[in-house]
Amino acid sequence: MKSDHKETVDLTQTFDVLVIGGGNAALCAAMTAREAGASVLVLESAPRHFRGGNSRHTRNLRYLHESGNDFLTGPYPEDEFWDDLLRVTGGQTDEPLARLTIRESNDVGKWMEEHGCHFQPPLRGTLHLGRTNAHFLGGGKALMNAYYVTAHRLGVEVLYDAEVHDLKMNDGEFSSAGFRSNGDSRTVRAKTVVVASGGFQANLSWLKEYWGEAVDNFIIRGSPYDKGQVLRVLLDRGVKPVGDPRQCHAIALDARAPKFDAGIVSRLDSVSFGIMVNKHANRFYDEGEDFWPKRYAIWGRLVAHQPDQIAYSIIDSKSIDLFMPSVFPPIEADSIKDLAVKLELDPSALEETVTRFNQSIGPGTFDYSILDDCETVGLEIPKSHWARPLDTPPIYGYPLRPGITFTYYGVTVNERARVIMENNQPSPNIFAAGEIMSGNILGKGYLAGFGMTIGTVWGRIAGKEAAGYACGAA
């Protein structure tokens, strides 16, 4: 199935626009630039089967819309969008760029459909996002497939297995890129470059600079190809960084997941139904602090700070059917003690933790649809809601580890997606889109579906600006 791309590309020519990366931001940039008349080459480091970066793992995107449609249950106006963003970032955002992102996302679903995207009504597990987020039929990989088909039809050239490791730059002006392809080193010249190569979350040694050996116990949820080489090159060549290099979006996920690329299925929604304990069988955080969709993204960091970066979610048979089924079956036992043995925890320690937890629960009426009144009394680490005694066998346990979704550290850009150099001057012909510049807008925190918004909006801005510069300069 190689029918949709050429095996070879004429590298003697000078392309108008070189796009580095093969995910959502990259393809949005490539299609936009090509439609503006530019010649476009996409270099994707992954082989064809794994093309599409983290974007292939996504399911929806959030965009501004004044009224509902077939896939969105109601309007999502600018003020609400902005408030949501302000809340999750705690104000750590560049307001003009953030507002631009929101405005440019207005009805972007239409543009996506024109470029091959198919939407579906919200998934049953994500009904709470039904008004704000549009869901891709078949998920992100189907979206990427559609974009590749469209890009190909438009005449965008694509090389897979093409990992960019160097950019020739002079005073912030780009002239050519070096990449490895099937073991060979090659060079390609272009009048402009759009860097859309994602974060650096798959670069374990880079992560270790901040997290040390704990990284060995981290799981990378998405593509193993997002290693941040191009981000490194840009920063080394004097592009101004943005964001906290230590920050990353991390959730707690099933410890049995493979090191890379397990995507959505390794997530686990059991935490707020029971207790979480560390390897010493001690609880360490309020499992019922708030609704799960608002809290799932803090648990990666919480588990990362526990000894050996491991934790266990423990529930009993009352709750086993109340959350999304897990991909790995729970570890099951008839008593707390037996479960401890199976999880290789100290049985008496776990029994003590559970007994204290059970005894601290006051009267209440369990209701998962609200912040109910089932809470613990007198524990130094309380459970504020949905606290029910763990007393009905079988007892179930899941091991959890930190799962890194993406990193925040990136390059600074202006409103035309040009990267900003350390001297605060924009580069004339280097543009960035997607995760690699999302730190401008998301200083911290996350809004479900906003990663794809940033990629789509900034991919389109970068594609348009790059084509304009290249074709105008010709």
The C-alpha atoms of residue 198 and residue 55 are separated, in whole angstroms, by 9
- Quickly tell me which residue has 């064809």 as its tokens: 48
17 and 466 Cβ atoms separated by less than 8 Å: yes
Separation in Å, CA 366 to CA 220, 292, 320: 35, 15, 15
Q: Comparing C-alpha atoms, which of 427, 429, 34, 426 is closest to residue 192? A: 429
Rule CB under 8 A: choose which of 22, 23, 130, 139 binds other proteins.
139
Q: What residues pair up with 242 in beta bridges, in sequence order?
A: 410
Q: From CA 20, how far away is CA 331, in angstroms rounded?
A: 43
Q: Which residues of 97-136 are buried (b: 16+ CB within 10 A; e: fewer)?
A: bbbbbbebbbebbebbeebbbebbebeeebeebbbbbbbb
Return the residue of 149, 370, 377, 474 that touches other proteins, per CB under 8 A.
149
Residue 439 as a binder of ligand FAD (CB under 6 A): the answer is no
The site for other proteins, by CB under 8 A, has a size of 38
- The entry of ligand FAD, other proteins, none near residue 203 (CB within 5 to 8 angstroms by kind) is none
Partner from ligand FAD, other proteins, none binding residue 145, C-beta < 5-8 Å depending on class: other proteins
Nearest approach, Cβ of residue 171 and other proteins (Å): 41
314 to 137, 299, 322, 396: CA distances (angstroms)? 34, 15, 14, 6
Site string for other proteins, 150-179 (x = CB under 8 A): ------------------------------
Query: Are residues 154 and 35 in contact, defined by beta-carbon separation less than 8 angstroms?
Result: yes
Task: List the x/- string, 129-168, binding to ligand FAD by CB under 6 A.
Answer: ----------------------------------xx----
Between 121 and 389, CB nearer to ligand FAD:
121
* Residues 21-50 as x/- pattern, contact with ligand FAD by CB under 6 A: xxxxxx----------------xxxx----
Q: What is the DSSP string of 82-94?
A: HHHHHHHHTT-S-
Q: Counting contacts by CB under 8 A, is residue 182 touching other proteins?
A: no
When asked if residue 117 is in the footprint of ligand FAD (CB under 6 A), the reply is no
Q: By CB under 8 A, what part of segment 30-89 binds other proteins?
A: 49-50, 56-57, 59
Q: Contact positions toward other proteins, by CB under 8 A?
A: 1, 3-4, 49-50, 56-57, 59, 118, 120-121, 123-125, 135-142, 145, 149, 258, 261-267, 321, 324-327, 329
